[in-house]
Amino acid sequence: METSTANQAGTIRIEQFPAGLEDGRPDARTMGWFEAVRAGFHDGAPEPEHVAEQAAGYVADGRILRAAYDDEARPGAWGTEIPVATYGTMVHALNVGGGRQLPTHQITGVTVRPTHRRRGLLRSLIIQDLEQAAANGLAMAALQASEATIYGRFGFGAATFTRSIDVDVRERFQLRSSSYGTMELVDPAALLDLAPRIFAGFQAGTMGSLDRQYSYAQVAAGRWQWEKPEPNRKLRTAVHFLPNGEPAGYVAYKFAGWDTEPHTMKVVDLVASSAASYLELWRYLGSIDLVQRITWPMAPVEDPLPWALADARRYAVKSEEDMLWLRVLDPAAALEARHFERDGTLAIAIQDPLGLAEGKFRLDVDGGRCRVKRLDSAAPADLTLGVDVLGSLYLGGAKARTLAGAGRLDGGDAAVDRLDRLFGTSAAPYCITHF
Ligand SMILES: CC(=O)SCCNC(=O)CCNC(=O)[C@H](O)C(C)(C)COP(=O)(O)OP(=O)(O)OC[C@H]1O[C@@H](n2cnc3c(N)ncnc32)[C@H](O)[C@@H]1OP(=O)(O)O
């Protein structure tokens, strides 16, 4: 697909194409996209020995790439085949509670060349893409934001959060519970098969989790690093097996080096399909000799670990960050897909700067299922909120009371409480998939 957009940068040609391989190499458009996206995130030029594997990963993910080209050649400038803006999408399942999964439109790899920034290129790309995703029947879009100030204007709200933690594992590290099942150090290669299997258990049981793309099993297996498809020889991996022999959790980790004080083990990936497995992974990490600290940037905000420790002060939260941002494209389909823990009724007015989710809707929740009816514009609403606020509320990761206090939604106290009761979840949503 090809379109043109006239913006303050002049006429820019936008193309949309699937990530592609030709004779085992990225095709020309995919290669140009790689060049541009790496420059956009301040990485070096793509390394010839890596691009084929990376492109194969993109193909496996079914990624669709968008690229904006400025065809006006200037002497010595980067070739016109290298886009001035990049944008990528793929679709994976989002756990929306009660084990239900909602196909979700993921946006990634958004960059605009410094020479073309702030001329409306991102705006053109994202509007075109969101409209297309909605027309294709996708009810939800998601991204992770490099800066918190960019995507609210396009209807995205922060929906899940994670903690970066340091755990002191010197002599006093001890769990209150007795051990369960067995931990085994395994060859990282075994994770190629085990990691997706274990993650499937996590995905099925964790509201807010997004299914993972191709690169995750490669990283857990030590075949790739996060930054590039190059083996990670420092990686160690251990698996938790239930008493019946089923693999239920894994941790991939690497030593930070003897020069790092305190001596630190960095968790690269940690996935547990149950709370018990989660604690066994930590029991294992805490038992590694010569290590004084474990670091992990993806801990849950409602983390059982400090409560499981004999000394909770071994556990320090270094920061808490937004992780998944959600954008409702179709309110009726998104809300009807979600599981609700309580029944109730509410009429909401949604304001959407792009018009996609604009309107008034009545929510009737019965037995965990929501039925949504569109109301006419004159109908009264209990609450008025922006579509970005709905994105933050959707998984229960933010409370209406908090957002009302911030002046982000309009309505009486009783309606705000009703929304919180309706959308409340027994566990905070949790996503450990970067994309
Ligand atoms: C999902 C992801 O991939 S997140 C990664 C995002 N990419 C990066 O952080 C890489 C470095 N940054 C960039 O490449 C660019 O600056 C981008 C992609 C963030 C913005 O691209 P641009 O083409 O300059 O944005 P564009 O001109 O369309 O701006 C659209 C609106 O967003 C605003 N905006 C753009 N970037 C930013 C920013 N970094 N902070 C705050 N506002 C911003 C603009 O002011 C404009 O506002 P308005 O239309 O409401 O007046």
| Pair 404, 288 in one domain | no
Amino acid at 41: F
The CA distance from 367 to 71, in Å, is 57
Q: What is the mean pLDDT of residues 271-295?
A: 97
| Pair 309, 340 in one domain | no
The CA distance from 60 to 358, in Å, is 35
Number of domains, the chain: 3
Q: What is the CATH number of the domain that holds 297?
A: 3.40.630.30
- Beginning with the edge strand found earlier in the chain, give each strand of the sheet holding 85-95 in spatial order: 2-7, 10-18, 64-69, 85-95, 101-112, 140-143, 325-328, 157-158
Annotated binding site for acetyl-CoA, which residues? 110-112, 118-123, 146-147
| Pair 212, 68 in one domain | no
Helices 48-61 and 28-40: crossing angle, nearest 10°? 100
> Residue 381's pLDDT is what?
98
Answer whether residue 113 is part of any domain.
yes
| Pair 168, 302 in one domain | yes
Q: What is the mean pLDDT of residues 164-174?
A: 94
**Main-chain phi, psi angles of 128, to 5 degrees:** -60, -45
| Pair 375, 343 in one domain | yes
| Pair 194, 302 in one domain | yes
| Pair 220, 268 in one domain | yes
For the Cβ of 119 lying below 6 angstroms from any atom of ligand 1, the answer is yes
CB proximity list for 260: less than 8 A, separation 6 or greater: none
Answer whether residue 152 is part of any domain.
no
| Pair 133, 278 in one domain | no
- Beginning with the edge strand found earlier in the chain, give each strand of the sheet holding 369-375 in spatial order: 369-375, 359-366, 344-351, 383-386, 409-411
- For a substitution probing ligand 1, which of 70, 117, 156 has the most ligand atoms within 8 Å of its CB? 117
**Banded pLDDT at 333 (limits 50, 70, 90):** very high
Residue 320 clears pLDDT 80, i.e. is over it = yes
Residue 7 clears pLDDT 70, i.e. is over it = no
- Beginning with the edge strand found earlier in the chain, give each strand of the sheet holding 264-272 in spatial order: 182-186, 236-241, 247-255, 264-272, 293-300, 161-168, 315-322
> Residue 260's pLDDT is what?
97
CA 122, chain centre distance (Å): 20
% of the chain with per-residue pLDDT over 70 = 98
Answer whether residue 149 is part of any domain.
no
Digit-coded pLDDT (tens) for 17-44 = 999 999 999 999 999 999 999 999 999 9
| 180 a catalytic residue | no
Q: What is the CATH number of the domain that holds 402?
A: 3.30.1050.10
| Pair 256, 372 in one domain | no
Answer whether residue 154 is part of any domain.
no
Answer whether residue 151 is part of any domain.
no
Digit-coded pLDDT (tens) for 189-244 = 999 999 999 999 999 999 999 999 999 999 999 999 998 999 999 999 999 999 99
Contact 93/103 with Cβ under 8 angstroms? yes
User: Measured in Å, how far apart are the chain's first and last C-alpha atoms?
Assistant: 24
Among candidate residues 127, 174, 412, 375, the one with its CA nearest the CA of residue 287: 174
| Pair 167, 36 in one domain | no
The CA distance from 396 to 405, in Å, is 16
Q: Which of 138, 173, 207 is the last residue of a domain?
A: 138
Domain coverage including residue 301: 162-321
The CA distance from 373 to 95, in Å, is 23
Q: Give the position, in ligand 1's atom list, of the atom nearest the Cα of 118.
A: 27
| Pair 240, 371 in one domain | no
> Residue 172's pLDDT is what?
82
| 340 a catalytic residue | no
CA 230, chain centre distance (Å): 23
Catalytic residue among 69, 151, 253, 430: 151
Q: Which of 277, 300, 321 is the last residue of a domain?
A: 321
Query: What are the Cα distances from residue 246, in Å, to 189, 201, 241, 288, 327?
Result: 18, 11, 5, 23, 37
Q: Give the position, in ligand 1's atom list, of the atom nearest the Cα of 126.
A: 28
- For a substitution probing ligand 1, which of 70, 110, 126 has the most ligand atoms within 8 Å of its CB? 110
Residue 311 clears pLDDT 70, i.e. is over it = yes
Answer whether residue 155 is part of any domain.
no
The CA distance from 96 to 115, in Å, is 40
Residue 115 clears pLDDT 70, i.e. is over it = yes
CB proximity list for 232: less than 8 A, separation 6 or greater: 219, 222, 223, 224, 225, 254, 268
> Residue 10's pLDDT is what?
62
> Residue 5's pLDDT is what?
60
**Which protein residue's CA is at the shortest distance from atom 21 of ligand 1?**
122
| Pair 224, 317 in one domain | yes
User: How many CB atoms sit inside 10 A of residue 108's CB?
Assistant: 18
Answer whether residue 69 is part of any domain.
yes
CA of 149 to the centre of ligand 1 (A): 9
> Residue 11's pLDDT is what?
83
**Which protein residue's CA is at the shortest distance from atom 10 of ligand 1?**
111
% of the chain with per-residue pLDDT over 90 = 95
> Residue 73's pLDDT is what?
85
CA of 156 to the centre of ligand 1 (A): 13
Q: Which of 294, 321, 348 is the last residue of a domain?
A: 321
Q: What is the mean pLDDT of residues 1-10?
A: 60
**Banded pLDDT at 171 (limits 50, 70, 90):** confident
Mean residue pLDDT of the chain comes to 96
Digit-coded pLDDT (tens) for 37-67 = 999 999 999 998 899 999 999 999 999 999 9
Digit-coded pLDDT (tens) for 86-109 = 999 999 999 999 999 999 999 999
Answer whether residue 125 is part of any domain.
yes
For the Cβ of 5 lying below 6 angstroms from any atom of ligand 1, the answer is no
Residue 4 clears pLDDT 70, i.e. is over it = no
Q: Counting Cβ atoms within 10 Å, is residue 13 exposed (0-12), middle (13-18) or buried (19+)?
A: middle
